[in-house]
Amino acid sequence: MVLSPHDYYLLLVQVLKALMLFPTIERMALSPQGKLMTPLLCNFRFIAYLPLFLLSLLPEGLKARLIRAALGSIPSLDQFVVQPTVGLVVFISANAMYMGAQEMRKVLERDNTTIRNNLDKLIFYYGATDHWCPVQYYHDIKQDLPNGDFRLCEHGYRHAFVLDAGQEVAKMVVDSTKLPLHHNVTRLHRAASCPAVSLPHTLYSAFSYSVTGNINYCFI
């Protein structure tokens, strides 16, 4: 069997660790937020389409001010999220609401088989005040899969952590998923030396910098 460059690359570069942040992987419609949003997303989302279209016609500055006002209750709001939020709300809200409706209907029971098969690679991080994934789900998965790495947030991060705790969560992710460089050096050297494989420039640059810059960890 002859492997394509893409297949060869996938064999060499494997997922070693994954951190599941506030994992909405089960019973979404039965969560506190799901009970509120399911009828809205599944039956009444079309009502929002006209206001969203009218919102898209407003000047960019006014749209940004409206978003800031809507998020004004968040005391430590990260101002860098305002402009991207304008684009998200105006241009993809219809798709996002449709996706939400599908999630309410289709994200039902937890896939324990897949989780169990990859348990050594997975870290699950649950929020203590997450209305999409309540603490009971954390206790349930710990009981069903006692050998897994399941963590409950002690810092008060919200489900939409990017609004006010993006940097803190990013640092936590880095600290939680650090892996010794030797896990990936051999794979990357093989991939880089294979004439049929072209590593993505950013990936190989990151690997090279990890070696020359005396960084102890390489993230893939």
Question: According to the model, what pLDDT value does residue 64 have?
Answer: 83
Average pLDDT by consecutive 10-residue portion of the chain (220 residues)? 61 77 96 95 90 84 83 76 76 88 96 94 95 96 96 93 88 79 46 41 34 33
Question: According to the model, what pLDDT value does residue 197 have?
Answer: 39
By the 8 A CB rule, do 112 and 144 touch?
A: yes
Question: According to the model, what pLDDT value does residue 82 have?
Answer: 78
Question: According to the model, what pLDDT value does residue 6 have?
Answer: 65
**What residue ranges do the domains of the chain occupy?**
5-15+179-212, 18-111+124-176
Question: According to the model, what pLDDT value does residue 62 have?
Answer: 87
145-176: burial string, b at 16+ Cβ within 10 Å, e else: beebbbeebeeebbbebbbbbeeebeebeeee
Residues 6+ apart with CB under 8 A from 208: none
